[in-house]
Chain A
Amino acid sequence: MKARDKTRIWLAVVYAGLGLIALGVAAVTHQFPDLIIWLPFALVVVFLEWRSFEINDHLIGSPSVMAILAAIVAFGPDSAALGVAVIGLISPFRPVDFKQRRIIVPLVNLGQLVTTAVAAALVVKPFLAHGQVWTISAFPLAVTGAALGSLVYVAVNLGLVNLAVRVLYQQNTIRPWSRMGSMVPSSVMLGFMGGLVGATYHVEPNVLPLVFGLLLVGYIGVASYSQLREAHEGTLRGFIKALEAKDLYTRGHTERVAYFAQLIGEELRYRGTALERLRWAALIHDVGKLAVPGELIRKRGRLNEQEYNEVQRHAHVVEDILAEVEFLRPMVEIASGHHSRYDGTGYGGSGHTEGEVPSQEACILAVADSFDAMTSTRSYRMALTQEYAFEELRHHCGTQFDPVVVEALISALTRTGERYGSPSMDSEVLARMIAEDKVGIEAHGPHEPHLPHDQHQSELSSDG
């Protein structure tokens, strides 16, 4: 047995044990709620746990937080902890895990859920009135308690999940407390709403089916939104894959640019839809290459005048296409590879006016695009080193690139410790020599062999 498997089993045992202890404590000190009220809440939580989906890039709060807190308030102070502990005990066992014979993850989830639920229940407990029927005056206290409880729920949940991820996958991906800030408002809101639902049960139980119905309809809406998002992203990625099959050298370029754009976006605190749009724009930015004859894209060496014009035409082609997609409009000029610059000079196509500063999204795409162009090998030169690329980006800060965006990329890559471009000094020197006379130009046009102007012109004259 490998050491890693051993750690995994240990983790499962420890988490499950922790969960069982929490369950035991709850069982000794609390009584089980009425089955008639326990069952609907249990069904809702199980449903939510089994059919989870991603709402946005950062899942800022799971709807099960709300369901758990609604259950805690509805069960009342005497039975809340045990009621939700049993819900936490049954909900991690999804049919899909049974089918794939997975046991570690459900066990870890079990421990994590039961512990979290009991902790939240104990926090909310003092805020709840006794008895089944409440007057309206018990509302404010119960709702406040639920909001607090959701904070505890999120904190314990994040801590336990992060620990498990670190042990299971040997990587620190979540950075829990940095995410806590963004989760506080939404979790307080969800807890508050859950508290309202639970408290409503004590005052006017008949309307509970209506609340559930409304939430179900909302859930269906969110699910179809989420499905559409995935369809959109999948369609873009699929088409990009077909596109890049044409060119060996730029294979993976789009995915990498999308990744760099995402890194910069996260660094600059883009969230949710904005981040998603940035990534989509990066995915689509090279689509015009489909309209350029394949032999030109692959061509080694220099382009003659006719070929150069052909490649230029592609820029306009892309603009025409992309201008039809609404969310891309602010980014069209950069997506079409025009020399639009941070200081507003340079020529652009439709949507670009002289002296106008491009949107920050466009600047992010420009930096991501140029960085990948420099750090990957092209048909006409080798990849440059990461240090050289950083230097080059900094060198053109304020004129060609937005300094804020450049620093965001550099600090993000420095923190993750990822490296791109040529690794060795030898190839760096070589690359430097090749690139020396292309300073700045390289960073302009990532798509094709954009040759330096002087070189290009001399090529033309020698042709004629």
Chain B
Amino acid sequence: MAELSGREQLQPVLWAIGMVAVFFLSVGVTDYGVGVIVLWAGIVAVLGLFEVPARSGNRLSFAFAAAVAVPVVVGDSRGSDLAAVFCIYSLGYLAGWMLARLGGKDGHELNSAAIRNSLGAALYAFIFDGLTAWFSFSATGPLLAFSLAALGWFVFEMGLWALSEYGSDRLSLRYLAILAFGDWPASFSLFIVGALAGFSWGALRWWTLLVALPPFAFAYVAFQRTAQAQATYDQTIRALARIPEVAHLSPDGHSDRTAGLAIAIAQEMGMTPQEVEQVEYAARMHDIGRITLNEPNILKAGFTDGDIAQWGSEIIAEAEYLREVAQLVRLQHQPYRRPGEREDPELPMASKIIRAASAFDHAVHERRFSALEALEELHRGIAYDYDPRVVEAVRRVVDLGLVPTAAA
């Protein structure tokens, strides 16, 4: 885990003091007993230890569900007892944060998630309370209030997460935002199960658990399975892409490094997570056509980079799901512009990225150039070979120190 800077160490301390202050300010105002408050705060704290797998890496814990239920339960049809809600939130999030730290978790993610979640929950409670009073004429009013308040919290949470990640890693904000909002099924399942429990508790009592938990378990298992399947798929692609390397037909580690660099470039250029994934797969497998060099007669007959790209794309195209990746691999050897011709608008940016990333890695690891020399080499090619926009992105990636320099 990265070392925390002074400001990042100060943040959670200030936040904790704030939470304690909120608790003591609101505990004097509320009519609810300590028992109810401690019970709900405990639920928030303990559920905070369990997470739903999220593609973005955001911490989406079960505490969301508990926090959503709190303003529904603590109050009546005209609105919530906000003082009690804030007591519960401040105590619950503080205790949850300390529990997670005791459990060995620490660092930037935990701190910023605690700050973000508690602020988001407070925002949710405010909106919910206000809207419930507003919509109290209708039987579906509380449900409508919940939907809008949850939407507000969701946007707040995801936007703030993207901003905080942007600060630490300096990826493109657009990429991060799409990544964060792409996790909506996981957050929605948490919000809905919390609301379901809150709204049906009054009428169904313990049956609430049976009504709410099985569908949630179903969704949870589906998310977990998806995360596992994604990991397996990535591993398989990675293993297959390394075949030319282990057969000594391509430099060792070239596939991994090219992919890493291509991902950084694509993110820097503000591509969406889906586009970045395509770039990653194509960059990993850009040299897979080299396995054809196993045939000695082909080796004798001679071959061009175009042939490698073509063979590679033929192999990849056998997999239906990777058709677009095959196309990117086929076009990777194309210069972005030819002498006397206009730039080809059909040539995908991803192919140009792979071309530049592969050339950069080749310069650094085969020709033993320094990163700056390799960058100069790319600059020299911007007339025809490398798209200047891509080279510019490579420069930014190098400047940020995201590229491993030449092996010592």
Give the distance in Å from the alpha carbon of A200 to the alpha carbon of B210 in the complex. 11
Contact yes or no, A324 B322, CB < 8 A: no
| Distance to closest chain B CB from A92 (angstroms) | 25
Give the distance in Å from the alpha carbon of A211 to the alpha carbon of B237 in the complex. 38
Give the distance in Å from the alpha carbon of A35 to the alpha carbon of B203 in the complex. 25
Taking A224-B226, A287-B243, A326-B231 as contacts, is the C-beta distance between A136 and B192 under 8 angstroms?
A: no
- List of B residues within 8 angstroms of A237 by Cβ: 318-319
A321 partner, pick from B142, B193, B219, B243, beta carbons under 8 A:
B243
Contact yes or no, B192 A214, CB < 8 A: yes
Q: Is there a chain B Cβ closer than 8 Å to A294's Cβ? A: yes
B243 partner, pick from A196, A210, A290, beta carbons under 8 A:
A290
| Stretch in B13-21, B38-46, B152-160, B288-296 touching the partner | B288-296
Q: Is there a chain A Cβ closer than 8 Å to B205's Cβ? A: yes
Contact yes or no, A324 B199, CB < 8 A: no
Taking A136-B203, A217-B188 as contacts, is the C-beta distance between A320 and B246 under 8 angstroms?
A: yes
1/0 per residue, CB under 8 A from B, across A320-348: the answer is 11101111000000000000000000000
Contact yes or no, B320 A136, CB < 8 A: no
Q: Is there a chain A Cβ closer than 8 Å to B264's Cβ? A: no
Q: Is there a chain A Cβ closer than 8 Å to B225's Cβ? A: yes
1/0 per residue, CB under 8 A from B, across A226-241: the answer is 0011111011111101
Contact yes or no, B218 A218, CB < 8 A: yes
Q: Is there a chain B Cβ closer than 8 Å to A53's Cβ? A: no
| Distance to closest chain A CB from B131 (angstroms) | 15
A221 partner, pick from B200, B207, B226, B321, beta carbons under 8 A:
B226
| Distance to closest chain A CB from B246 (angstroms) | 5
Interface of A is mostly: helix
Contact yes or no, A235 B296, CB < 8 A: no
Q: Is there a chain A Cβ closer than 8 Å to B127's Cβ? A: no
Contact yes or no, B239 A325, CB < 8 A: yes
Contact yes or no, B294 A290, CB < 8 A: yes
Contact yes or no, A238 B318, CB < 8 A: yes
Taking A214-B216, A232-B229, A234-B319 as contacts, is the C-beta distance between A239 and B294 under 8 angstroms?
A: no
| Stretch in A25-33, A201-209, A454-462 touching the partner | A201-209
1/0 per residue, CB under 8 A from A, across B229-241: the answer is 1111101111110
Give the distance in Å from the alpha carbon of A265 to the alpha carbon of B226 in the complex. 24
Contact yes or no, A231 B196, CB < 8 A: no
1/0 per residue, CB under 8 A from A, across B136-155: the answer is 00011011000000000000
| Distance to closest chain A CB from B280 (angstroms) | 14
Give the distance in Å from the alpha carbon of A136 to the alpha carbon of B225 in the complex. 35
A-B contact count (CB 8 A): 170
Contact yes or no, A290 B247, CB < 8 A: yes
| Distance to closest chain B CB from A131 (angstroms) | 16
- List of A residues within 8 angstroms of B231 by Cβ: 326
Contact yes or no, A325 B185, CB < 8 A: no
By beta carbon, the residue of chain B nearest A277 is: B232
Contact yes or no, B246 A317, CB < 8 A: yes
Q: Is there a chain A Cβ closer than 8 Å to B310's Cβ? A: no
Contact yes or no, A291 B246, CB < 8 A: yes
Give the distance in Å from the alpha carbon of A327 to the alpha carbon of B205 in the complex. 43
Contact sample, A vs B, 28 pairs, CB 8 Å cutoff: A136-B204, A136-B205, A197-B211, A203-B203, A204-B199, A204-B204, A210-B143, A215-B215, A217-B188, A221-B185, A221-B223, A225-B222, A225-B229, A228-B230, A236-B236, A237-B319, A238-B319, A239-B315, A241-B318, A284-B236, A287-B239, A287-B240, A291-B246, A292-B247, A292-B294, A293-B296, A295-B295, A320-B242
Which 6 residue pairs are nearest across A and B when measured between Cβ atoms? Answer: A221-B222, A238-B318, A238-B319, A291-B247, A218-B219, A231-B321
